[in-house]
């Protein structure tokens, strides 16, 4: 180990010690998304996908939820737990896809499609959730759509997850033109090249990927779905078609499996804004807090609760 690496390790150990002390004092829980930096994943009380994290938030008895993820995830925790303090250690950690739709734009579209049920991906603001009939995540989009009586769906804001769901259900799905700038960096050429280089490997992708990438994959799964897939005893080599941060967890849980990023460019800069220093600062200062105005929260909660009752 180099001198610099040793210094870094000591610094992290010191931060973690302070963090654990404060966590106890505040009765806090640290929820971490699968795309977070390795060192942030390692201090999490729970690391998971959007669905698991909202389920954890709904059940926690902690007074403070430190959400290491992006804004819509912390906001979902605030929708579910209005009596808890929800902290997002960097207020600028947003999701560009969630910003590709507003409640006003959605209301306009609903007027054009009065017969359609509105399904919103959890990657959306509380205002958009409040205008929707039901929420979904990448883990349950197909199941949620199938659970609805209506055969006509308006799916917002991710056109690619919506398109994937339309191929799995017989329903008419109107798509919103939103997309994830990180997953759309993964191109058809990337999956072709990686499959050629690693002919034995399974290619697993997130449903936010482009349809031409999804078409060539062996499995289409949420981030935690990818983690469960990797735990199968007969899988030894996987091409990972999602944000590269997940490879830390995959490698930690499956040390003998080889993980190959489908594209090194699939990095979500917003997820990487959360650092150990910011988590400690946030818990010390009890800021930045994420809250949702009560009238919006009550309506958004209906959409989230309907989803949680379906899965």
279 binds ligand SF4 per the rule CB under 6 A: no
Binding mask 198-237 for ligand SF4 (x = CB under 6 A): ----------x-----------------------------
Name the residue nearer to ligand 13P (CB basis): 85 or 123.
Answer: 123
Residues near ligand SF4 (CB under 6 A), total? 14
Cβ neighbourhood burial of 114 (10 Å; 0-12, 13-18, 19+) = exposed
Stretch that binds ligand SF4, among 57-65, 179-187, 191-199, 232-240 (CB under 6 A): 179-187
Which one of ligand 13P, ligand SF4, none is in contact with 271 (Cβ closer than 5 to 8 A by kind)? ligand SF4
From edge to edge, which strands make up the β-sheet containing 237-241?
219-220, 202-205, 237-241, 258-261
Question: Residue 222: which of 205, 235, 234, 237 has the closest Cα?
Answer: 205
85, 132, 140, 182: residue in contact with ligand SF4 (rule CB under 6 A): 182
CB 130 within 8 A of CB 146: no
Tokens of 130: 């409040």
Using CB under 6 A, pick the residue from 178, 217, 243, 250 that binds ligand SF4. 243
What region, left, alpha or beta, does residue 266 occupy, with left being phi > 0 and alpha being psi -120 to 50 degrees? beta
Spatial neighbors of 127 by CB under 8 A, at least 6 apart, are: 102, 103, 296, 300
| 96, interface contact from ligand 13P, ligand SF4, none, CB < 5-8 Å by kind | ligand SF4
Site string (21-40) toward ligand 13P, x via CB under 6 A = -------------x------
What three-state secondary structure class fits 123? coil
Match 């909660």 to its residue by tokens. 301
Q: Are 200 and 220 in contact (CB under 8 A)?
A: no
Binding flag, residue 123, ligand 13P (CB under 6 A): yes
Binding site for ligand 13P (CB under 6 A): 34, 49-50, 123, 137-138, 180, 206, 208, 222-223
Binding site for ligand SF4 (CB under 6 A): 70, 95-97, 123, 180-183, 208, 243, 268, 270-271
């Amino acid at each position: 180990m180099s001198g610099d690496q040793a210094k870094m390790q000591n610094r992290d150990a010191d931060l973690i010690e302070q963090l654990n002390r404060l966590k106890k004092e505040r009765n806090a829980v640290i929820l971490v998304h699968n795309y977070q930096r390795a060192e942030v994943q390692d201090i999490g009380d729970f690391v998971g996908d959007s669905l698991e994290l909202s389920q954890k938030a709904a059940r926690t008895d902690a007074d403070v939820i430190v959400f290491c993820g992006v804004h819509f995830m912390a906001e979902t925790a605030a929708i579910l737990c209005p009596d808890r303090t929800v902290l997002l250690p960097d207020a600028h950690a947003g999701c560009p896809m969630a910003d590709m739709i507003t409640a006003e734009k959605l209301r306009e579209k609903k007027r054009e499609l009065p017969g359609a049920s509105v399904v919103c991906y959890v990657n959306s603001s509380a205002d958009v959730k409040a205008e929707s009939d039901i929420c979904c995540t990448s883990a349950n989009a197909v199941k949620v759509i199938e659970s609805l009586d209506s055969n006509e769906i308006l799916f917002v804001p991710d056109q690619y997850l919506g398109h994937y769901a339309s191929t799995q259900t017989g329903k008419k799905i109107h798509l919103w033109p939103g997309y994830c700038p990180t997953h759309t960096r993964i191109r058809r050429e990337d999956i072709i090249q990686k499959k050629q280089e690693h002919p034995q490997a399974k290619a697993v992708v997130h449903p936010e990927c482009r349809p031409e990438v999804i078409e060539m994959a062996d499995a289409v799964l949420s981030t935690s779905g990818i983690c469960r897939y990797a735990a199968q005893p007969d899988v030894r080599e996987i091409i990972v078609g999602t944000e590269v941060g997940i490879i830390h967890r995959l490698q930690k849980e499956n040390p003998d499996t080889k993980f190959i990023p489908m594209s090194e460019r699939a990095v979500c800069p917003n997820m990487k804004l959360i650092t150990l220093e910011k988590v400690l600062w946030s818990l010390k200062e009890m800021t930045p807090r994420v809250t949702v105005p009560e009238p919006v929260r009550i309506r958004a909660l209906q959409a989230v609760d309907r989803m949680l009752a379906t899965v």
